[in-house]
Homo-oligomer: A and B are copies of this chain.
Amino acid sequence: MLNRVILIGRLTADPELRYTNNGTAVTSFTLAVDRMRSNANGERQTDFINIVVWQKQAEVVAQYLQKGRMAAVDGRLQIRTYENRDGQKVRVAEVVAEGVRFLDRGEGGNSAKSAPTAPSAKNSPPSAPSKRQDFDPYDDPFADDLPPEFDEELPF
């Protein structure tokens, strides 16, 4: 059925990139999403929402986002159940991101981390840096398999 979540918030910490046993990249981070209304005491309230990103975007996110950065996430809400070390069933909610937009650096583009040293041992960023000045991590990872709606005229 339908399951769509759209969020804008700030990373509470640097994203963490890991790999599954199959070698698939997965990045996770937490987004602090301020509620649009304060409570009766005028206190701002915030939802801390866990985000998971897979594959190419996982690596782009790990490379370009860091703590405090603002991002938009477009994905689906997933409830995962696992057993913790006490044998108790724990339910966690997370948003599986299909798209992640970086929102507060540059004007329409995104600048990479300064990265004087390699970002992380597990992180293998694309060796050839993007030649596009306004490199767009939401866009590029799929540039090879462009679907027809971006490429073909409508026949009507």
**Contact assessment for A39 and B9 in the assembled complex, using a CB-CB cutoff below 8 Å:** no
A97-129 interface bits toward B, Cβ cutoff 8 Å, 1 = contact, 0 = none: 001010110011000000000000000000000
Determine whether A93 belongs to the interface, using a CB cutoff of 8 Å to chain B.
yes
Determine whether A67 belongs to the interface, using a CB cutoff of 8 Å to chain B.
no
Q: How many copies does the complex hold?
A: 4
A-B contact pairs, 13 of them (CB 8 A): A1-B101, A2-B6, A2-B7, A3-B9, A5-B77, A6-B6, A26-B154, A35-B76, A38-B143, A49-B79, A70-B108, A80-B154, A93-B93
Binding site for B on A (CB under 8 A): 1-10, 16, 18-22, 24, 26, 28, 33-40, 45, 47-49, 52, 54-55, 70, 72, 74, 76-80, 91-93, 95-96, 99, 101, 103-104, 107-108, 136, 138-139, 142-143, 146-156
